[in-house]
Structure 1
Amino acid sequence: MPAPAPVRERSPLPDVLRGLAIVGILTVNMQEFSGYVEWRQSGLDRAAQVLIDVFANGRFISIFAMLFGWGAYGLLQRHGAVIFRRRHLLLLALGTAHHLLLWRGDIIGLYALLAWALLLLARPSVRGLLAVAAGLGGWWLLTGVLAAWAAGFGRAVEVEATRFSGLPPIRPGLDYAEVLARRAADFPGDYFAGALYNGPWVIALLALGAAAARAGLLTHPERFGWLFRRFVVLALPFGLLLGGLLAFLNTRTDLAAGLLAIPVRMSGGLLSALGYVGLLGLIAARGGLGRWGLFAAGGRLALTNYLTQTVVMTTIFYPYAGAQWGRWGAAPALALALAFGTLQLLFSAWWVRRFGSGPVERLLRRGVYGRASAQ
């Protein structure tokens, strides 16, 4: 079975988008890594939280999910169902280990699990894939809005409900064994119940990525300048407006605002993500991605960088190591994320020049294709 294409044959746009997404995801994940609570931020911390909500929250995770669908669909078309199943079983095992041993916020295993839906979507046309995405995504967003309405949004309540924080149950003094035991006990609810709840939305994003792969959107950007311009002019402004609404909802403490923030986050995130793809797509169509080489290198090591972020940040913040949990506001957490993300991009560029692919990517490729392909 042939190995994936070497570096010189790769289209740069997917790697640039993936590298950008990895840095952007870290800026959002810092809340769960460091333990700050959104609606308790003030001053500079609140300003940082607003920036994250408007420009990052839900945006880069949408790009990453669509790219996951893009890659999974391309793999299925090139190498068939056997290789597809093998790769996604390995990713599911890796994601499960990541969740249990390091951090409950894993997305790799979730995407690998839900990507099996693409086996049912191998034949539909681009329009068919878009219809699946619209149907599943629209239904999921509607249920989120209805849940917020049922919780009291839009009408006065005598007693304000307590908003959920979504943070893991971390407290000072926990050792690693205690954290691991609690994570293992919560695993079915966190992982599989989460997959059931978020499944329709994630599959919608995977289907959008599959549609992009079927159309050649990212490999031949010069053909789609008209579409990229529409993404920038139409999708991005509405996405940023919904980001502003998300920032407002994240200053409120009532349960209904917290529930409504979920569909607002993801719908605005998708629109902004399409806008970001449009901006970079226009640059790629004009042959101008050469200056984005650092992000392309970061995209080549996306899986390695993602796991490294977990190791470093949990070491800094979790009580069994650096014990900084709950001591940082949004502003220093954002600064740390940007600084560490920049270091990862620089390291990725050096690593790609020297070794070609990341260590985790190399191990995964060996498991999927065999020893020869890891060279």
Structure 2
Amino acid sequence: MQTVSFSQSGLTALPPLALYIHFPWCVRKCPYCDFNSHAVKDGVPEVAYIDALIADLESNLPQVWGRSVSSIFMGGGTPSLFSAASMDRLLEAIRARIKLNPDAEITLEANPGTFEIEKFAGYKAAGINRLSIGIQSFNAEHLTALGRIHNRDEALRAIEIAAKHFDNYNLDIMYALPKQTLLEAEADIDQAIACGSTHLSAYHLTLEPNTLFHRYPPALPDDDLAADMQEMIEAKLAAAGFEHYETSAFAKSGRRSQHNLNYWQFGDYLGIGAGAHGKISFHDKIIRQARFKQPSEYLAKMAAGSAIQTEEIIEKSALPFEFMLNTLRLTGGFPIALFTERTGLPMTKIIHEIERACAEGLLERDLHHVKPTLKGQRFLNVLMERFLPE
């Protein structure tokens, strides 16, 4: 286990705490996916994995003792490969071990498919109150190109079933897909709006390292066409009553993702499960954890007592970039006081970089608030570079 030295951060109050739970299995690995996911070969070790998750949480309770959890997110992989009974057992074990806020947002990622949609009622009964459904596209050719296992009809059926049991659900949509036209991207977003979801995530397809698409790049729309798609999506969702509150996230009133907002406001999160990452603050330090990624190794390590592969204390010099990397994804930016509240550092640590970004038209600020301009949102990577540690 790696540990890095750290000077006192001087946090006067601990940030909100969330719980992330990773489920590393999928029916099939998608060619664009760089998440810790593994194709199911001989079935999912459901009971053993839930046991390991409970043990993982329990072994880390001393680090978050006495703190309330404001949200839970079950991501993957495909968490909906697990039965509603397993989710119920897991959530019962969580409630018995930590203080879960009565109004906590509990999200489960699900993929369309007839083998899953009948589980949705059971998930709701277990206490899950929000779904995030990986649609990606309603176009048959694009679904095939993306390696998705569902078709358009299964996607629409899954959304229909979800809407009967959940009044809060997100749809994931991707654009700038292989050979996609502007009209095809428009058809996808029109269909997503028509489905009546409370939240939409619209992601630009990127060729991430260690993916099949990175090794064998497909023909993608050029930058100008991708920008046209982005502007079209933003305009259509605004007209449909969605607020664009984060780079890729759009929500109806009162339906922002509370779990993701916690990330973007540099809150804390305990991560359990294979490959899960966590960030936990103490009054004198902020630590980052990572667990072993391979499911079999994770299970073996948990059986031996701990699956934490690395644990490091975030250096003081890295905190401004870490903070900005998250908060500047929010279109509304952040209140100035939040920087000191979440990092323990004075605002003077980043004032020069903020003024430079303002002069370049990437940021705007007043006495109380900092936020990216439209130019800053469009050139977010350039904006982030302004805060890299020297």
Structure having the larger proportion of residues in strand: 2
Say which structure, 1 or 2, has more relative contact order (CA 8 Å, 6+ apart).
Answer: 1
TM-score, normalised with respect to structure 2: 0.26
TM-score, normalised with respect to structure 1: 0.27
Structure having the larger proportion of residues in helix: 1
